[in-house]
Amino acid sequence: GIQVEQSPPDLILQEGANSTLRCNFSDSVNNLQWFHQNPWGQLINLFYIPSGTKQNGRLSATTVATERYSLLYISSSQTTDSGVYFCAVTGAGSYQLTFGKGTKLSVIP
């Protein structure tokens, strides 16, 4: 099946800093989502982005499907951005979302 790799696995930032999280996938996809899992376990949808670029406030994402990667940008980070960020994809011909292992972000004051 399709493989999803996220980097870095852990990231510590000072409040106000910017960061880039990366997601590589091994095959063509027809769905790619970015999620934020808060400390209570709730998964929050950030972006549905199988291709192209989207922005939502301080967050933006870009997926280059032909090169099989996606990037999540967080600008002016806040302590509330802490948590785990997951990338998940659905391969062509499949209905299953396959998750990466996540990037754990800690934003310190």
Partner 1 sequence: DGGITQSPKYLFRKEGQNVTLSCEQNLNHDAMYWYRQDPGQGLRLIYYSQIVNDFQKGDIAEGYSVSREKKESFPLTVTSAQKNPTAFYLCASSAGGRETQYFGPGTRLLVL
Q: Smallest distance from the beta carbon of 18 to partner 1, in angstroms? A: 25
Q: Residue 18 has which token pair?
A: 């910017």
**Which residues contact partner 1 (rule: CB under 8 A)?**
1, 4, 30-31, 33, 35, 40-43, 45, 48, 86, 88, 90, 95-102
Q: Smallest distance from the beta carbon of 21 to partner 1, in angstroms? A: 14
How many CB atoms within 10 Å of residue 6?
21
State the DSSP string of 28-87: -EEEEEEEEE-TT--EEEEEE-SSEEEEETTEEEEEEGGGTEEEEEE-S--GGG-EEEEE
Taking the least distance from each CB to partner 1, the nearer of 45 and 66 is 45
Taking the least distance from each CB to partner 1, the nearer of 75 and 104 is 104
Q: Smallest distance from the beta carbon of 44 to partner 1, in angstroms? A: 8
Q: Smallest distance from the beta carbon of 16 to partner 1, in angstroms? A: 28
Smallest CA-to-CA distance from 2 within 50, 61, 73 is with 50
Taking the least distance from each CB to partner 1, the nearer of 31 and 60 is 31
